[in-house]
Amino acid sequence: MAVRFYMCREREVPRPFRIAIVGSGPAGLAAAGYLACRGYEVHVYEKMPEGGGMMAFAIPEARIPIKSVREGVKELERLGVNFHFRTKVVYDSPRELGDEWAEHFLSLERLMSEFDAILIATGAWRPRRLKVPGVELPGVYDALSLLHHIKMARIGYYSWEGIPDFKGKEVLIIGAGYTAVDVTLESRLLGAADVTMVYRRGLEHSYAKAEIRKLVSEGVRFIEFATPVRIIGDERVQGVEFAKTKIVGGSVIPTEERFLLEGDLVVYAVGQLPTSPIREVVCANEEILKEAGIFFAGDVIAPRNIGTAIKEGRERAKEIEEWLLRKAPRKVFPVPVAARLIGEVVNGRC
């Protein structure tokens, strides 16, 4: 069954506005579906070879089959959405996961000159690095990159070379979000003998607690209130030293109490960083950018689950429509003025 990104039965009469959507994850695709249904000309720019974002290229195949995502994208194409794959939109963005697939590069300024509004829904493709001694040891992986490579191998884009052998291994996973859950699922599917998840807060603080409880019922070990201090090993990882933690005023405070866990593989899932074409975007500046016709949705703002991202994509599409009908696009800010405005936001002057 296809992942459904739009609600209408047929497209409404064409409307005289063009919208560019940068990124084709759940938020971007849901926005594209809504706007196409309403009759707008929609162009989606995506650096990867096909649409879906994390759904297609990181979330385990066992959870969201690539076939369902591809069918959903095909439905949007039939609705009239124009896709531009292997195309990255840039302003001052650094390199990130998946950039090797981009064959074409467009400037944000060019999109601003050619479209009436822009939605940036590029997600969070840059893993947050674990800052402890030993993180460089062989056998230590960031969860996002590992999930991406496993999924790309499963759907035929990468070979299995370079992906660690999980068979019979003791795996330690640091974190308790959806990414940690996904890497736990893949570890078990790939034959890990034992998987232990370690979280610096309590289980009740995790937004993936329902999924984690299910994993625990299936044999996964979960340790709460512990944070890594150092990763141990000589030529490769052998384990992790943890400090017990306590919560004081909402903050995590490591204690002097320590313990060791042995592990053949260590995977850390401690967050992801937004990968917007505009490097520094904070919520306080979103209103300023909206005046230039630039909107944001999905993980590029803050972490979302798929359902929330789809809902937010539709909501942002409605905001874009309201803005288009209320403002007179192309007359609000000429492109040079809008470009300067973005520069001021990036440099922290707004």
Domain locations in the chain as residue ranges? 18-125+273-346, 129-268
Write the single-letter amino acid at 70: R
Architecture of domain 129-268: 3-Layer(bba) Sandwich (3.50)
Per-residue tens of pLDDT for the chain, all 350 residues: 778 898 898 899 999 999 999 999 999 999 999 999 999 999 999 999 999 999 999 999 989 999 999 999 999 999 999 999 999 987 655 566 777 888 898 888 888 889 999 999 988 778 889 999 999 999 999 999 999 999 999 999 999 998 999 999 999 999 999 999 999 999 999 999 999 999 999 999 998 999 999 999 999 999 999 999 999 999 999 999 999 999 999 899 999 999 999 999 999 999 887 776 665 444 435 666 777 788 988 876 666 678 888 999 999 999 999 999 887 555 444 555 555 555 555 555 44
Q: Which two tokens stand for residue 284?
A: 């306080």
Query: How many alpha carbons lie under 13 Å from residue 217 in its C-beta half-sphere?
Result: 6
Q: Which two tokens stand for residue 255?
A: 């204690």
- Identify each DSSP E strand in 263-308 by its residue range: 265-268, 272-273, 294-296
Element housing 125 (H / E): none
| For the chain, counts of helices (H) and of strands (E) | 10, 17
Q: Is 159 helix (H, G, I), strand (E, B) or coil?
A: coil
Which CATH superfamily does the domain covering 18-125+273-346 fall into? FAD/NAD(P)-binding domain (3.50.50.60)
Phi, psi of 247 (to 5 degrees): -100, 120
Residue 139, sorted as left (phi over 0), alpha (psi -120 to 50) or beta, turns out to be left
Buried b (16+ CB within 10 A) or exposed e, 177-189: bbbbbbbbbbbbe
If you search the block for the tokens 């809902």, which residue do you land on? 311
